[in-house]
Amino acid sequence: MQVRSFDIHGVHEFTPKSFPDHRGLFAAPFQEAAFVEAVGHPLRLAQTNHSVSARDVIRGVHFADVPPGQGKYVYCPRGSMIDVVVDVRVGSPTFGGWTALRLDSTEYRALYLAEGLGHAFVALEDDTVMTYLCSTPFTPSAEHGISPLDPELGLPWAEHLGGEPVLSDKDRVAPTLAEAADAGLLPDYQACLRRYAELRDAVS
């Protein structure tokens, strides 16, 4: 398993070895030992999510209140997508920054984003599947979003879209990053750091 970290604190890429043969292919997108070495604590698994998206569907940018927040380990078992992580943690040195990564069913790369980070993706082909391993269950009152089309963020959709973006009604009317900050909806970076320390201390 190859691991790569990013400038945004709490974002890690995991690339497993794949083993093709005459029957097909085998890969292990999540491996606990590699995860713990990179992140510093095991992934608490409270819920798995499965989404199927048509070409040009954008989902996100979604995040949860911290504490407890929701860490996500995501990969694409079918199709392909551009996955985006946005730092929405107020006070973070990379606040408003983002990173984008192609996830697909060729290399089975996975992406982990820690609690407090925003997540979005665009499907590059029909029937693209996203699998999410989530550290906490879905809690509607604690879930929030910002607009994936916020011009100040400048997320890289245009270069990957084949047509008009397809969004849910909720994502289409979501506030911009600045509006969400003014409304007090965004996670606090120091609260996130305390949460990460709690998770590490729980296994020390």
Nearest CA among 57, 27, 52, 30 for reference residue 42: 30
Catalytic residue from among 62, 75, 119, 144:
62
Rounded Cα distance between 99 and 155, Å, is 9
Rounded Cα distance between 101 and 99, Å, is 7
Q: Is 9 a catalytic residue?
A: no
Q: Is 12 a catalytic residue?
A: no
Rounded Cα distance between 118 and 111, Å, is 13
Q: Where are the alpha helices (DSSP H) in 52-184?
A: 169-172, 177-182
52 contacts 28 by C-beta, under 8 angstroms:
no
Radius of gyration of the chain (CA): 16
Sign of the Cα torsion 43, 45, 46, 52 reads positive
Residue 93 identity (one-letter amino acid): P
Which contiguous run of DSSP H or E holds residue 25?
A: strand 24-27
Nearest CA among 75, 89, 80, 85 for reference residue 118: 85
Active site residues: 62, 132
